[in-house]
Amino acid sequence: MTGAGGPATSGRWGQVRGFESLARPNYPLLVLIAAALPAFVATAAVAAEPRARIEGTLDPDLRAAVVRAVGDTDRPIDNRFEARRRAREAAENAIAVLRSEGYYAYDVIPEVGEGDTPPAIVRIAPGPRFQLGMARLEWVGAAPDAAAAAAAQAALVLTPGLPARAAAVIGAEGRAVAALQQLGYADARAQPREVTVDHSDHTVTAALRIASGPVARLGSIELTTNGRTRKAWVQALAPWRRGQPYRPEAVAELERRLLDAGVFESVTVSLAPADKTEAGGLRPVIVSLSERKKRTLELGASYGTTEGAGADAKWTRYNMLGRADTISLLARLGKLDSRLQADLSMPHWRSPQQTLTERAAIYRAQTPAYDQSGVTVSADVIHRWGQNAVFGFSGTYVTWGASVDLSRTEEVHIGTLTPLGRDIATFALLADMALDRSDDPLDPRRGWRVGVRVEPTLLTGDGVLPYLKVQGQASGYLPLGDDARTVLAARAKVGSIVNGSVGEVPAPQRFYSGGGGSVRGYGYQEVGPRLADNTPEGGLSLFEGSLEVRHKLTKDWGIVAFVDAGVIGRSQTPTTDNLSVGAGLGIRYNLGFAPLRVDVAVPVNAKHGEAPFQIYISIGQAF
């Protein structure tokens, strides 16, 4: 076992015997071999085989490690000189493995077999496996404070009597340095260690030498950027106060927060070198940002049998305000939804992991149940707890917001089936909480998700109607079998509008179901009660359920069998009476970042002359 700057010391070393004549190169022979190389290149390739044959009684794991270190070759041995060279190299590789695994009383002999093209052979007698003795820390330069020294010693975890593997000693050294850095000793470094191998009692003792350096205290941000990002905004994101001791996770957290903003191509955050220390002994933190292109333009087109043709264009401007903001303008033309929309998104608004989104839009919707046109403005704040959240809140999203909508709706009067126009002002608040414990946002294979959404709403226009719209959804994912190639996925969703009747609540605010995101096998808004003229009525309550069996055929391809069910109720209490059921099959193709989804579904109990089948194409699993 060798140290970071010198060899291990020992009372007695293992032996390598044979081929002493190779200490002096045989130059005439080398010339002959070089001249013959072109002929060797022209020979046909052969199957890979071990570079040398390993002989001797070895533990299976140790033998496997030696064989891996020796390696394979597809070039056959052509002469005894080549066999000797391979045997010697294989012996050196074997010795490295033996020493790293704690075998120091080894006997390794490189040999060659018989004949003009003999095999290379390495005979190994590993001897006893040495055990760890007591390990100690030695400080190079000034020692750290008592608490830091104790933490470094505790981090060693080198239990006497365990196998003296080199990885165990090196790992202990790394843990000791990391423990010091966690306590503010940013410049702590390992120095050349001293490892003693005692052949009399078959033990290995290590003296790990560490230079801790002084405690580093964090100072100001030094910003390097190719864009408009403001230094004050970056400084406000830092999870430390000026003068606090250095912590590696604090510097890493600032890097994560900047990457999460979504406007930077690359982010690097590091502590300045010791020679850059500011007055007062503070160390600057260097932040380097490479910003993405300032503007993007996206164009899209779509077609659906229900929605018809559509097109949209989106212009986006990044970081105009110098705080990782995103401004976008959207123009969309379609049968179901046409709009002009402006959005402003500001990540880390007033708090890390908190995003403010403001939106204004002029829109027009034409659906089977109603037509609506109007203008809307809204503001939402979403707070996300990431992997480092406390109290079990990791993967939790909380959203609260408010909106104002002024619209004109054209619908069918439920009692008379005559056209009904309404001018409505809608004032709504929003509270939403989602817990995501799944393993992937677009292709979950294990875990669960739960979400609850509450919207207190006040309608004014022809009259005044306050109501409360509540929705809840849960989904779970269970892998089957040891290889988890099959996943059982289930989803349930309920909703209720509290206060008011179906006729009092305008059609755009009611519940509807049917389509690729709800009950497959039915078109948009086709699930639920209908008026006498076959117009979807909508309702005050909602229930949906889905069950999928997802099976992975190959790395890229998979199949899915599914059953969806849903019902829209006229009462405020969700029910499972009069369910509409759809079933089908789908294929999945792995795009690398998410699966491409193609589903074909049929209505099992069609009630209103629905189409015999529906096809859905999207990215990501259905839920």
pLDDT of residue 78: 87
The Cα–Cα gap between 75 and 90 comes to 15
In sequence order, what are the residues at sequence separation of 6 or more whose Cβ sits closer than 8 angstroms to the Cβ of residue 61?
none
pLDDT of 124 > 50? The answer is yes
Average pLDDT over residues 454-475: 95
Q: What pLDDT is stored for residue 32 in this prediction?
A: 36
pLDDT range class, residue 608, cuts 50, 70, 90 = confident
Rounded Cα distance, 98 and 14, in Å: 10
Q: What is the per-residue DSSP string for 153-191?
A: HHHH---TTSB--HHHHHHHHHHHHHHHHHTT-TT-EEP
Cα separation, 48 vs 154, whole angstroms: 47
pLDDT number for residue 305:
66
What integer is the mean pLDDT of 547-559? 96
Other CB atoms within 10 Å distance of the CB of residue 60: 7
- Contacts of residue 71, Cβ cutoff 8 Å, sequence gap at least 6: 50, 51, 93
Confidence of residue 386 (pLDDT cuts 50, 70, 90): low
pLDDT of residue 42: 42
pLDDT band with cut points at 50, 70 and 90 for residue 19: very low
Segment 256-279 mean pLDDT: 93
Closest CA to 452 of 475, 430, 434: 434
Q: Region 518-546: what's the mean pLDDT?
A: 94
Which pLDDT score, from 0 to 100, does residue 26 have? 40
Q: What is the mean pLDDT of the chain?
A: 89
**pLDDT in the model for residue 9:** 35
Residue 14 pLDDT class (50, 70, 90 cuts):
very low
Q: Please, what is the Cα angle at 297 between 294 and 302, to 5 degrees?
A: 150
Output 235 or 44, whichever has higher pLDDT: 235
Residue 473 predicted with pLDDT over 60: yes
Q: What is the pLDDT of residue 394?
A: 56
User: Bridge partners of 301?
Assistant: 311
CB atoms within 10 A of CB 508: 21
Give me the numbers of helices (H) and strands (E) for the chain, helices first please: 7, 31
Q: How far apart are CA 290 and CA 217, in angstroms?
A: 27
Structure token pair of residue 63: 């033998």
Predicted local confidence at residue 516, as pLDDT: 87
Average pLDDT over residues 265-269: 95
Q: Specify the DSSP element, H or E, that contains 207.
A: strand 203-211
What percentage of the chain reaches a pLDDT higher than 70? 91
Is the Cα dihedral 148, 149, 154, 158 positive or negative? Answer: positive
Contact 588, 550 (CB under 8 A): yes
- Among the listed ranges 65-79, 296-310, 360-374, which one has the minimum average pLDDT value? 296-310
Mean pLDDT (whole number) for 559-564: 98
What domains can be seen in the chain, in order of their start residue?
A: 9-125 (no CATH), 131-211 (3.10.20.310), 217-291 (3.10.20.310), 425-619 (2.40.160.50)
Kindly state the average pLDDT of the residues 239-263.
94
Q: At 609, is the pLDDT very low, low, confident or very high (cuts 50, 70, 90)?
A: confident
Please report the pLDDT score of residue 309 as a whole number.
Answer: 82
Region 76-99 average pLDDT: 94
Round to whole Å and give the CA distance between 596 and 383.
Answer: 30
Cα–Cα separations (whole angstroms), residue 54 to 47, 85, 109, 331, 383:
19, 15, 10, 71, 60
Average pLDDT, integer, range 516-536: 93
* Poorest-pLDDT segment among 156-165, 259-268, 391-400, 544-553: 391-400
Condensed to tens digits (0 to 9), the pLDDT of residues 155-198 reads 999 999 999 999 999 999 999 999 999 999 999 999 999 999 99
pLDDT for res 10: 35
One-letter amino acid at 210 equals I
Nearest one of 613, 521, 533, 530 to 566, comparing CA atoms = 521
Decide if 527 contacts 501 (C-beta within 8 A): no
Report whether pLDDT(1) > 70.
no
Q: Is the pLDDT of residue 484 over 90?
A: no
423: pLDDT strictly greater than 50: yes
Distance CA 597, CA 333 (A): 25
Give the pLDDT of residue 280.
Answer: 83
Range 486-490 average pLDDT: 97
State residue 560's pLDDT score: 98
Span 297-338, pLDDT tens digits: 999 988 766 677 889 999 999 999 999 999 999 999 998 899
Burial category of 269 from C-beta neighbours within 10 Å (exposed 0-12, middle 13-18, buried 19 and up): buried
Number of neighbouring beta carbons within 10 Å of residue 535: 17
